[in-house]
Structure 1
Amino acid sequence: MVTSPSSTADGRRRIVVVEDDSANRLFFADYLTFSGFAVLALPHGLDLEQQLKEFQPDLLLLDLGLPEIDGYALLKQVRSSVMWQQLPVIVVSGYAFAEDQHRALAMGAQKYLVKPVHLHQLTDAVHAVLQSSNDEAG
């Protein structure tokens, strides 16, 4: 279970990005790094739990339409894990239907953003979810 905010040696908060589209993955990773976060960007979630264990993120940015294992299955896996069940998750997906949004939020995502995402919208969501997570932990 994540009990206190993790950060890098220089104090940056950590974000794991799971996005199969290479342009989006690079876009999110570069922008979040530029915004002061430490980022681990993954093209799929096949070994997500191991990656989380090694990177110790403060937040997971998750696409739903992934190859091999979809984002819903990954979200369920994260919420089922004793170690990661409290990890904040923001879904960033091209799935724009309300039922997809409701499903992801009901499964434990804190926010749901529909692609294309504006940069300020992404950082606002990240800061809001991290702040909320800090408030709940404190």
Structure 2
Amino acid sequence: MPKRVLVVEDNELNLKLFCDLLRAHGYLAEPVRDGREAVATALRFEPDLVIMDIQMPHVTGFELIERMQRDAALSRIPIMAVTAYASHEDEERIRTAGARSYVAKPISLARFVEQVERLLASASNEAV
């Protein structure tokens, strides 16, 4: 059964790129364009991984990560942040919020897939 990945991204081109890339690697990708829908969609979709843009309108990725970490049904799901923020302080803030990793924009396709695979493998090992 393919691993399920929720992609939260307000930029339509990035959302399509991430979902197409995930699907090409055998994952089931569920797009979410508006961060306000992310938690409800995650509860319904039950993803194995969440890929989250940090800079979004209405609700930031930081806020969504923190909400997911407080929800018992979602807190076990690893989160990978995708962001234009690339400083050491930004990485620290992203990890402190609860993301397990991050990829800086513009993304390297190989690094993106590598991080997805690493996080999913890590989450599978924790579940055993």
TM range (shorter): over 0.9
Indicate the residue corresponding to 1:127 in structure 2. 117
**1:54 corresponds to which residue?**
44
Identity %: 29
Q: Deviations over 1:63-103 (max 9, x none)?
A: 00001000000000000101111110000101112211101
Q: Which amino acid aligns with 2:118?
A: A
3-state SS in 2 of match to 1:132: helix
Match of 1:80 among 67, 70, 73: 70
Per-residue deviation, 1:136: 1.2
Q: Is the 8 A contact 2:39 2:64 kept in 1?
A: no
TM-score normalised to the size of structure 1? 0.90
Q: Is the 8 A contact 2:10 2:35 kept in 1?
A: no
Aligned residue-pair number: 128
Answer yes or no: is 1:109 the counterpart of 2:79: no
Runs of 4+ in 1 over 6 A off after TM superposition: none
In structure 2, the partner of 1:100 is: 90
Partner of 1:90: 80
Q: C-alpha distance in 1, partners of 2:61/2:43?
A: 18
**CA RMSD in angstroms, aligned pairs only:** 0.8
With normalisation by structure 2, the TM-score equals 0.96
Question: What's the counterpart of residue 27 of structure 2?
Answer: 37
Q: Counterparts of 2:22 and 2:48 in 1: how far apart (Å)?
A: 13
SS in 2 for 1:47: helix
The structure richer in helix per residue is 2
Q: Find the aligned partners of 1:104 and 1:86 in 2 and give their Cα distance.
A: 17
Structure 1 residue 123: Cα displacement: 0.8
Distance in 2 (CA, whole Å) between partners of 1:131 and 1:73 is 26
